[in-house]
């Protein structure tokens, strides 16, 4: 059980299952706390097996997984990357590092995901990559997106930071495009403090990815006994996390199903409790399209407009409940102007982002806290 530090209902409490300290202790006793120790290997193998992924490598963050994916696509200055504007800065900044230009595409109002029907018109002779974000762990329309990518010979990177344990038509998110990126930040469903993973879906990128992650060396090959000594072979960085962090994550992966069930239960309870408000068209609730299985990464509601949202957040705060909004659309942020352009008209991105508010949902959130969130929300909208 999580300890309460105050009488607030927090928006997020990092997951803790009970075995984290024991595994971290083991890592220390093994005299192996740097990267690619036993726990890192266990986590990589677990994810590969559970998600039928060709190759998985833990990284220091979801952001660094995205950076690796951008580098593996061989992006060069002037190349263009298509992505939604309604996302976290990491999705964009990973590509900016390669000198690529960002081309933002509008979202669908129902899932808040990139609108698959607006991608094709954003493609130019310079387009190299489509980067999709599976918002709230609900999949983008991947059949259509992969079809477009094949037609124009583009890479697809899945920002599945929020989509660990979600699937689209039976395939785990992150395993559908060329590369998938997970986050294990403390705000995500499974955590190692700061951390993430890259999923590599084609075997021909495995070696390059290992080199990138290990400071440009072929150390991974050396450890497998495939080369006599290791060498600096290409450019790279340090994208491998400490085994101490992996030990923390391992405790959660071992009970990943239970964590998922627990979150889904809360999610469903919220949804049922707010159904009437939604039926009366006072709020809108998340939509999960056919074929998508989600992981209850978040529960959001959509108010009428910005004013109502701010009033709701304020009302909840006065009742010791912390609700948050996020993502000022990237195309309207200072760096967005500098590094990108919005293709077509912004029909939904700004409008929908201003209405959305996230309510407390985390592993093992107290039943009575859930009740309070529900009661206070109903009270607000009754007024």
Ligand X SMILES: *Cc1c(COP(=O)(O)O)cnc(C)c1O
Q: What phi and psi values does residue 332 have, to the nearest 5 degrees?
A: -100, 5
User: Smallest Cα–Cα separation from 364: which of 121, 67, 12, 6?
Assistant: 12
Q: Rank residues 14 and 222 by Cβ distance to ligand X and give the closer one.
A: 14
Closer residue to ligand X (CB): 37 or 62: 62
Q: What is the DSSP string of 138-186?
A: PPP-HHHHHHHHHHHT-EEEEE-TT-TT-EETTEETTSSSSEEEEE--T
* Least separation in angstroms between CB 319 and ligand X: 27
Query: Which CB sits closer to ligand X, 100 or 133?
Result: 133
Contact residues for ligand X, defined by CB under 6 A: 61-63, 87-88, 90-91, 133, 159, 161-162, 183, 185, 196
Minimum distance of ligand X from residue 150's CB (angstroms): 24
Q: Which residues contact 181 (CB under 8 A, 6 or more apart)?
A: 62, 65, 66, 69, 157, 158, 159, 160, 161, 174, 196, 197, 198, 199
DSSP run (H or E) holding 191: none
CB of 135 to ligand X, least distance (A): 7
> What stretches of 60-124 adopt beta strand conformation (E)?
80-84, 101-105
Q: Closer to ligand X by CB, 115 or 159: give it.
A: 159
Tokens at 329, concatenated: 């659309």
Closest distance to ligand X from the beta carbon of 126 (Å) = 24
Q: Which is nearer to ligand X, 154 or 157 (CB)?
A: 157
Residue with smaller CB distance to ligand X, 179 or 380: 179
The residue nearest ligand X at its CB is: 62
CA distances from 279 to 45, 274, 380, 382 (A): 44, 9, 16, 14
- Shortest Cβ 88–ligand X spacing (Å): 4
Least CB distance from residue 378 to ligand X, whole Å? 29
CB of 176 to ligand X, least distance (A): 16
User: Shortest Cβ distance from residue 237 to ligand X (Å)?
Assistant: 14
**Cβ atoms of 39 and 27 closer than 8 Å:** yes
Tell me whether residue 91 or residue 167 sits nearer to ligand X (CB atom): 91
- Our CA angle for 264, 88, 136, nearest 5°, is 15
CB of 69 or CB of 154, closer to ligand X: 69
> Alpha-carbon dihedral of residues 94, 98, 101, 107, nearest 10 degrees?
-20
Sheet holding 171-172, edge to edge: 171-172, 167-168, 292-293
Q: What are the two backbone dihedrals, phi and then psi, of residue 154, each rounded to the nearest 5 degrees?
A: -110, 155
Q: Which two tokens stand for residue 30?
A: 């093994």
Please say whether the beta carbons of 113 and 168 come within 8 A.
no
**Closest separation between CB of residue 183 and ligand X, Å?**
3
Closest listed residue to residue 303, CA positions, set 377, 230, 242: 377
Q: Which is nearer to ligand X, 82 or 277 (CB)?
A: 82
């Amino acid at each position: 059980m999580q300890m309460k530090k105050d009488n607030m209902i927090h928006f997020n409490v990092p997951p803790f299952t009970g075995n984290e300290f024991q595994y971290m202790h083991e890592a220390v006793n093994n005299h192996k706390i740097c990267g690619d120790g036993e726990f890192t290997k266990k986590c990589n193998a677990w994810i590969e097996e559970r998600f039928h992924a060709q190759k998985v490598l833990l990284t220091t963050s979801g952001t660094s997984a995205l950076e690796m994916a951008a580098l593996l696509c061989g992006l060069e200055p002037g190349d263009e990357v298509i992505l939604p504007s309604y996302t976290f800065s990491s999705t964009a900044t990973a590509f900016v590092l390669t000198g690529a230009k960002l081309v933002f595409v509008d979202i669908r109002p129902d899932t808040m995901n990139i609108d698959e029907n607006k991608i094709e018109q954003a493609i130019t002779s310079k387009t190299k990559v489509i980067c999709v974000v599976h918002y709230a762990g609900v999949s983008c329309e991947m059949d259509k997106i992969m079809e477009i990518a094949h037609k124009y010979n583009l890479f697809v990177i899945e920002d599945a930071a929020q989509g660990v344990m979600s699937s689209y038509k039976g395939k785990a998110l992150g395993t559908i495009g060329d590369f998938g990126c997970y986050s294990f930040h403390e705000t995500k469903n499974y955590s190692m403090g700061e951390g993430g993973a890259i999923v590599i879906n084609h075997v021909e990128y495995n070696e390059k990815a290992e080199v990138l992650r290990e400071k440009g060396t072929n150390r991974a090959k050396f450890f497998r006994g495939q080369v006599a000594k290791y060498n600096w072979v290409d450019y790279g960085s340090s994208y491998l996390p400490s085994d101490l962090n992996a030990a923390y994550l391992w405790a959660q992966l071992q009970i990943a199903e239970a964590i998922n069930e627990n979150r889904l239960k809360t999610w469903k309870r919220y949804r049922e409790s707010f159904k009437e408000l939604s039926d009366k068209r006072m709020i809108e609730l998340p939509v999960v399209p056919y074929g998508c299985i989600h992981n209850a990464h978040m529960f959001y509601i959509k108010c009428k407009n910005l004013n109502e949202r701010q009033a709701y957040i304020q009302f909840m705060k006065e009742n010791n409940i912390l609700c948050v909004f996020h993502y000022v659309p990237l195309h309207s942020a200072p760096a967005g102007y500098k590094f990108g352009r919005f293709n077509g008209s912004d029909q939904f991105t700004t409008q929908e982002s201003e209405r959305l508010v996230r309510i407390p949902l985390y592993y093992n959130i107290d039943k009575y806290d859930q009740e309070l969130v529900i009661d206070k929300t109903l009270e607000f909208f009754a007024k």
